[in-house]
């Protein structure tokens, strides 16, 4: 109760923001340094917290609670609290966010070429928003932090992006704006059904068989219709965020036009918020409905996987290959969730973390190549392994991790997700595994077309990775391998929390 560690962690990037305001815009070195440092602080705090995290405990840890303001409704005042906390589900995602934040901050020093001051100010706000999304423990706070990531991302894409950046920015914002509007409606509807905003209180209200909200005939009984309605609405909101086809077009455009740090943030963390919401709210609050609709989720997941794979196969642009690859990998998360058992959920969370790291690494590598060649087209590139052996090597490794090579995080997450689903829906899972084969095909196609083959004259003198580029690549690859060979770092904190969710699922 007395710990303020979580507040410190969540708002620590803002310390950097305050410093940044006072640094003149001409001091680019200092701006970059502070920018990176403001992401190091949460990284350190996240690891400190992970170290202090009690693996055996299923409930919330590092809880903080303060009264913020109250909503007047009729004659009563409903307090809205500032409440933070982490459990086994959010802890890995907080660490992921901190790692990706650091990664993106370094990417900013390399790939951002103008207006560093504004860039890092917006970056720190986004980082705080992302950390807040995973640490907040009530719906209102979640919504505020969620919005806090949208507005700065609009600027990051629209100012520092590539040629068609403004369209991409507005598309990003409108799609996500619609998503958050739907989310807000559901949140308010939830609030007005059970008169609380706190996650665990809502969960208890909906899942505890002794609560009046579940008792047929009680005046506050919440019927099937409302439960299904809320579940579907939430699913749509998070389907935009994740994204789930056919609501994915904003992501493709955004990944194509965003500056590298924004892509890292977006592919690494932002789209995981959708999956987090799916687990935390859809499954957490409505386990009975989730159990009924598991088939729907599984079908959506398979569509995502196959659709993403097929489109990734025919793209000529590396960025688009990776964008559709993200779509397909989000499908695996859906399959894990659809399994509705502990193994499946574990696979889903594994995939969230694993894909966050791998996608960010891949996008980083593509940017490194793009920086030197000014192209990401497969038919222009080829044979750059001769001039850039290190980058090409990492590229191949990361692609293999993404394709699920054993020993890397991709394998263990896809394996567990499918393992979970095979128990429940073997046919759908079997179709889904086709995706794994296709993934290997399109990734190899992309990597081989880029790095192998005859080297064109203009690619013979490319510089290999600089120390500043090597450091984050190796660091992230390290985490990918660590999860691959020692999955307990992730599974142990998860287990206790997931065991808490699973028994309530109906079906």
Partner 1 sequence: MESRWGPLAQYDWSVMAPEFTILIVATLISVIDLLMPNNKNRQVLAWFGIAGSLLAGWFVFQNVGHGVVEILNGSYRIDAFGNVFKLIFLAGTIFTLLMSINYLNRGDGKEEVIHHGEFYYLTLTALLGSMIMSSSADAITLFVGLELLSISSYILVGTRKKHLLSNESAFKYVVSGSIASATVLYGISFLYGLTGTTNLFEMADRLGEAYMAGNALLIYIAFFLTFVGLSFKISSVPYHMWAPDVYQGAPTPITAFLSVVSKAAGFALIIRFFITAFRSIVDYNAPNGPQSVFISELLLVIGILAAISMIVGNTMALRQTNIKRMMAFSSIAQAGYILVPFATLTSLIFEQTVYYLIAYLLMNMGAFAIIMIVTGDRGTEDIRSFAGLYHRAPFLAIAMTFFLLSLAGIPISAGFFGKFYIFMSSLVMGNYWLAGIMIATSVVSYYYYFGIIRQMYMRPGETEAPLRVPAGIAVIVLIAFIGTVGVGIVPDSVLNFIHVNFPFMDIIETAGPVK
Q: Which spans of this chain sit near partner 1 (rule: CB under 8 A)?
A: 68-75, 143-144, 147-148, 151, 154-155, 158-159, 165-166, 169-170, 173-174, 177-178, 181, 184-185, 188-189, 192
| C-alpha distances out from residue 92 to 103, 111, 115, 433, Å | 16, 28, 33, 26
Closer by beta carbon to partner 1, 125 or else 293:
125
The single residue listed with the structure tokens 């009563």 is 76
List all residues 6 or more positions away from 306 whose beta carbon is below 8 Å from its beta carbon.
328, 331, 431, 434, 435, 438
* Shortest reach from residue 118's CB to partner 1, in Å: 8
Nearer to partner 1, 165 or 253 (CB): 165
CB of 497 to partner 1, least distance (A): 29
- DSSP string of 151-201, one letter each residue: HHHHHHHHHHS-TTHHHHHHHHHHHHHHHHHHHHHHHHHHHHHHS--BHHH
- Of 74 and 457, which has the nearer Cβ to partner 1? 74
Phi, then psi, of 275 in degrees rounded to 5: -65, -40
Residues 253 and 319 sit within 8 Å (Cβ to Cβ): no
| Cβ proximity to partner 1, 158 vs 356, nearer residue | 158
Shortest distance, position 186 Cβ to partner 1, whole Å = 11
Least Å from the CB of residue 220 to partner 1: 15
For partner 1, give the closer residue by CB, 69 or 221. 69
Question: Cβ closer to partner 1: 143 or 255?
Answer: 143
User: Looking at beta carbons only, is 179 or 420 nearer to partner 1?
Assistant: 179
Please report how close the Cβ of residue 26 comes to partner 1 at its closest, in angstroms.
14
Is the CB of 144 or the CB of 489 nearer to partner 1? 144
C-alpha 152/C-alpha 163 separation (Å) is 19
Q: Rounded to 5 degrees, what angle do the CA atoms 487, 133, 241 make?
A: 85
Give whichever of 8 and 151 is closer to partner 1, judged by the CB atom: 151
Min dist. Cβ of residue 154 to partner 1 (A): 7
CB of 73 to partner 1, least distance (A): 5
Residue 250, token pair as written in the block: 């904003």
Cβ contacts of 236 within 8 Å, gap of 6 or more: 179, 182, 247
Residues 6+ away with beta carbon under 8 Å from 316: 377, 378, 379
Report the residue number, 166 or 380, with the smaller CB distance to partner 1: 166
**Terminal Cα-to-Cα distance of the chain (whole angstroms):** 37
> Nearer to partner 1 by C-beta: 2 or 74?
74
Nearer residue to partner 1 within complex by CB, 247 or 421: 247
Q: What is the DSSP string of 445-505?
A: HHHHHHHSSPPPGGGTT-----HHHHHHHHHHHHHHHHHHH-THHHHHHHHHHHHHHGGG-
Closest distance of CB 133 from partner 1, Å: 13
Among residues 109, 130, 92, the alpha carbon closest in space to that of 13 is found at: 130
157 vs 153, 169, 259, 266, 319, CA distance in Å?
6, 5, 6, 10, 15
Least distance CB 409 / partner 1 (angstroms): 35
Contact call for residues 100 and 158 (beta carbons, < 8 A): no
Which tokens sit at 223? 């019927």
Nearest approach in angstroms of CB 311 to partner 1 is 28
Q: How far is the CB of 69 from partner 1 (least distance, A)?
A: 3
The minimum distance between CB 39 and partner 1, in angstroms, equals 23
Asked if 293 and 287 touch (Cβ cutoff 8 Å), the reply is no
Give the C-alpha distances (Å, rounded to integers) separating 71 from 155, 186, 195, 226, 230: 31, 17, 11, 23, 22
Of residues 294, 351, 287, the one with CA closest to residue 505: 287
């Amino acid at each position: 109760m007395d710990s303020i560690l979580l507040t410190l962690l969540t708002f620590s990037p803002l310390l950097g923001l305050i410093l940044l305001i006072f640094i003149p815009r001409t001091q680019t070195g200092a701006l970059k340094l502070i920018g990176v440092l403001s992401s190091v602080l949460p990284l350190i705090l996240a690891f400190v917290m992970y170290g202090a995290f009690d693996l055996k405990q299923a409930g919330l840890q590092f809880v903080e609670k303060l009264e913020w303001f109250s909503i007047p409704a009729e004659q009563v005042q409903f307090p809205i609290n500032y409440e933070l906390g982490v459990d086994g589900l959010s802890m890995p995602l907080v660490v992921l966010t901190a790692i990706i934040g650091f990664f993106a901050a370094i990417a900013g020093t390399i790939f951002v070429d103008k207006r560093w001051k504004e860039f890092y100010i917006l970056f720190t706000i986004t980082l705080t928003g992302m950390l807040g999304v995973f640490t907040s423990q009530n719906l209102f706070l979640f919504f505020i932090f969620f919005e806090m990531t949208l507005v700065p991302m609009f600027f990051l894409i629209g100012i520092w992006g590539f040629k068609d950046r403004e369209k991409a920015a507005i598309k990003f914002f409108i799609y996500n704006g619609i998503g958050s509007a739907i989310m807000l409606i559901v949140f308010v509807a939830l609030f007005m059904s059970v008169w609380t905003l706190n996650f665990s209180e809502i969960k208890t209200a909906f899942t505890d068989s002794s609560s009046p909200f579940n008792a047929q005939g009680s005046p506050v009984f919440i019927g099937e219709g409302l439960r299904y309605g809320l579940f579907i609405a939430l699913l749509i909101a998070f389907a935009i965020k994740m994204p789930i086809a056919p609501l994915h077009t904003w992501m493709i455009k955004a990944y194509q036009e965003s500056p590298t740090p924004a892509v890292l943030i977006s592919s690494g963390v932002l789209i995981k918020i959708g999956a987090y919401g799916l687990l935390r709210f859809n499954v957490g609050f409505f386990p009975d409905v989730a159990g009924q609709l598991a088939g729907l989720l599984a079908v959506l997941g398979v569509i995502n996987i196959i659709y993403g794979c097929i489109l990734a196969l025919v793209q000529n642009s590396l960025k688009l290959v990776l964008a559709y690859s993200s779509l397909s990998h989000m499908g695996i998360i859906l399959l894990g969730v659809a399994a509705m058992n502990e193994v499946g959920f574990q696979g889903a969370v594994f995939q969230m973390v694993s894909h966050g790291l791998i996608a960010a690494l891949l996008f980083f590598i593509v940017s490194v190549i793009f920086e030197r060649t000014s192209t990401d087209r497969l038919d222009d590139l080829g044979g750059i392994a001769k001039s850039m052996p290190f980058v090409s090597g990492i590229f191949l490794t990361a692609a293999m991790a993404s394709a699920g090579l054993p020993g890397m995080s991709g394998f263990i997450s896809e394996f567990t997700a499918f393992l979970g689903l095979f128990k429940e829906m073997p046919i759908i899972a079997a179709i889904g595994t086709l995706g794994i084969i296709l993934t290997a095909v399109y990734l190899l196609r992309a990597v081989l077309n880029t790095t192998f083959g005859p080297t064109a004259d203009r690619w013979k003198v490319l510089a290999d990775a600089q120390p500043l580029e090597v450091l984050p690549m190796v660091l992230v690859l390290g985490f990918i391998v660590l999860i691959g060979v020692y999955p307990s770092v992730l599974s142990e904190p998860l287990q206790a929390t997931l065991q808490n969710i699973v028994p309530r699922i109906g079906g």
